[in-house]
Amino acid sequence: MGAAPASRDVTSYGMGLAVPLALFFLVFFVAPLLQLLWLSLHNDTAGLHWGLSQYQHFLTDPFSLGVLGSTLLLGAEVTLVCLMLGFPLAWLYQRVGPRLQTIIILIVLLPLLTSVVVRTFAWIVILGRQGIINATLQSLGIINTPLKLLYTQFGVVIALAQVQMPLMTLPLITALGRIDPNLDDASCSLGAGSWRTFFRIVLPLSLPGVIAGCTLTYAAAITAFITQSLVGGGQMLFMPMYLYQQASTLQNWPFAAAISIIFLLAVLAVVSVFTTLGRLSRGYGGT
């Protein structure tokens, strides 16, 4: 083994080391994606006639657009719930002793350690007609007939929020941990109240974490096939189920490919909105 020349540019290593992963992505991610695009540009299931009819079909069909819209909305709702519940938890984490911190981290990570299927089935047990919520409300005499929670939009949002919560909380904990606690005190000693300190100091400085958490939660929530179909049921159609139906049951691969490309672009658009917000927030946090 020859020694590397002394004059070798240290920065050239970076590209070389990235080659294996780049090759992996090229073969197993970019190539299939191109194949998907190629397939979506055909008018027939056999893939013989070129054309844009699959896209035309989707984009001129109010029903398909409705499915896309409700999926994107679902993601927004789940993200909002996660943010509302996750932020106080992350904030609390930074203000308690080490023992409580361990407990909080354990609680946050615990869902990640069980399979999504198990977590989702737990929600079926909780939300069902004879589930924990209905049984409790009935025994307290608050309701007479069980509420319909399973197979509703509400049920899906709640279950998804719990399933995806770690993706929101972990970036928030990191972001809040990076804020110098002295800034709080400085703000208070300069006469700002707690709310003012929160909105002018803590929130802007934690925005990178908020953006990262929102992006992760959003992407995970809209593509969560298992939770969506188990808690949402068969009559609530979201993009992943729509895709599955077209690809698997109907074997209509070109239309399924077009759906996935459109879905991909829609998600990219939403994520780029998040990123733009993140870039703007960096300027805001600095002033």
Footprint on this chain of another protein (rule: CB under 8 A): 1, 63, 121, 124-125, 128-131, 148, 150-151, 229-230, 232-235, 237, 241-242, 245, 247-252
Least distance to another protein, CB of residue 5, Å:
17
SS3 42: strand
The packing angle between helices 62-93 and 98-113, to 10°, is 150
Least distance to another protein, CB of residue 16, Å:
14
Q: How far apart, in Å, are the Cα atoms of 148 and each of 106, 130, 231?
A: 32, 10, 12
Greatest C-alpha distance within the chain: 82
Q: Name the token pair of 161.
A: 């929020």
Least distance to another protein, CB of residue 11, Å:
22
Least distance to another protein, CB of residue 4, Å:
13
SS3 15: helix
Q: Name the token pair of 112.
A: 């990640």
| Sign of torsion over alpha carbons 219, 225, 227, 232 | positive
In angstroms, the CA 115 to CA 163 distance is: 10
Q: Which is nearer to another protein, 93 or 242 (CB)?
A: 242
Q: Which is nearer to another protein, 189 or 235 (CB)?
A: 235
φ, ψ of residue 182 to 5 degrees: the values are -60, -25
Q: Which is nearer to another protein, 108 or 258 (CB)?
A: 258
Q: Which is nearer to another protein, 12 or 130 (CB)?
A: 130
Q: Which is nearer to another protein, 210 or 236 (CB)?
A: 236
Least distance to another protein, CB of residue 184, Å:
47
